[in-house]
Amino acid sequence: MPQNLAQTGPASGHTASMGPRSTLIPPCVVFEDEDLLVVHKPPGWNTHAPSPYAGEGLYEWLRHREPRWSDLSILHRLDKETSGLMVLGKTPVANRSLAQQFEARRVEKVYRLRTDRVIRLERWTADSSVVRAGDRYVARPHAAGLDPAETRFQRVAGGDRWTEWEAFPRTGRTHQIRVHAAQGGIPLLGDSLYGGTPDRRLHLCAHRLAFEHPRTGERLEWTVDPQWDQDPRSLLRRAVIASAETDAYRCWHGASDAPGSGLYLDALGPFHLLHSDPDSEGEPETPPGIEVAHLHHRRLNRRVGFSGTEENCPRWIRGDRAPEAFMIRENGVRYEIRFDQGYSVGLFLDQRDNRRRLLTGHVAAGFALQGSPGTPPEVLNCFAYTCAFSVCGALGGARVTSLDLSRKYLDWGRRNFEANGLDPADHDFIFGDVFDWLRRLGKKGRLFDTVLLDPPTFSRSKERGDFRAERDFGALAASAAAVLKPGGVLFASTNAARLEPEAFLAQIRGALAGVGRRVVCEHYVPQPPDFPVSREEPAYLKTVWMRVH
């Protein structure tokens, strides 16, 4: 019988070794074998991406994470705000079998829901079609041309101001359970679209899932706790962050986690850093539902380059004060964090998944970082800052050249190498202007397997003057192409808010074509799931990996 998947990967105290690394399986995965992947989707995460630039859905995030998951297939879906169990197929055998079982209604799906309404019935069945009406769905009597929809409800628990029900849908129409529950007088808590009392989450969970194993025929079954009383924002982070190897991530992301919120909260090891709107008065309160013992605070500064270091440093609020320097862990890699160096503390948390790609040597489904094994690949990390990308490249088996305009940050980068058992002497650290050094390296015929471009939105150097990402990224990509091997990988990333994804990609593609280089493979990703994307908080991070001939 297949067993629930054990977490595998390097321990947090691993010693450095050459070659791509594995990392822990994300906590949302509850079962895996040769054919199946069963996951527990948290509330607030789409099953799949609503558009190419609006954040990865759970499916895309998983499919591109592990090479063995590259052929994952969606066999059923859950609404964004619905939590619970989903099965994805890994093989054609699984896909065919499960598709047949879903069609024949041999897959058992049991949902749990909560409502604050009371009806006299203990069990009842809704049998009416569900049709779209504007931005919602409504129940309609069966009629020619309408697909039937049937849901059986049974009360299972009750409290002071709520009752809990199990729902057994015989069909799988969009919003079916929500529409039928509202039709029967028990709209879900948190389901204001269908008349439910507002709450911090939709109280609907795919609680139990059972079917026949596609290869052995054995009956498999899983159940999960609906976790009604836990903060949904925390559930999302706990689904994607393996705490045994990562203790730095975003806990709260502005309006995506609460409409109108101007707060952003980062976990950094034992400390939390709260960012608030520059126009807010006094010291802000931490977001609701999140317990924070050791808190520092900083106001967001829209003019970082025009203010002093002291003005941008985080300020202690309560609990223990952060020491001058301390370590955090991300995917088993250690980084030095400091609160006394101005606006950035030493690590950009929204690049965690991209650093993992360097660490594991796997960019996306069908896109390995290195085309063939052999001598250690050469990586050039431009705008290296504290060399976080460089450390992951080196741990992944590459020889890395880190290039930055600050000696202080390059020294910080060397400390990050040493913290991970890497000898900085085995790698190169170059102080200077990126454009100048790309020209010099190109003249010397120095070529790299991977070139990383993650420039600041705005920077200024004596040699070249101002750099603005929305205006100059194409010129930067063209300069980088001069030192990129044929078949090499170009990584380009920016958080320039005014640069739209389409324009960003067009600028890079056009610049590469202008110097006679051709993109043969491309993978675009926005920020990771703990930086959720919404209408109120649109995606700001734009990243593309390109294999270039």
H helix or E strand, kind and range, residue 275:
strand 271-276
Query: How many alpha carbons fall within 13 Å on the CB side of residue 504?
Result: 27
Helix, strand, coil share (%) of the chain residues, nearest 5 = 25, 30, 45
Single-letter amino acid code for the residue at 68: R
Around Cβ 120, how many Cβ atoms within 10 Å? Answer: 6
Largest interatomic CA distance in the chain: 83
Please confirm, yes or no, whether 79 is among the known catalytic residues: yes
| Both tokens assigned to 164 | 């809990």
The rounded distance, in Å, linking the Cα atoms of 272 and 293 is 8
Residue 448: closest CA among 380, 515, 512: 380
Helices (H) and strands (E) in the chain, counts: 12, 30
- Considering the candidates 79, 127, 247, 428, report the single residue annotated as catalytic: 79
CA–CA distance, 355 with 389 (Å, rounded to integer): 6
Burial environment of residue 301 by CB neighbours within 10 A (0 to 12, 13 to 18, 19 or more): middle
Closest to 492 in 3D by CA, of 434, 448, 453? 453
Active site residue ranges? 79
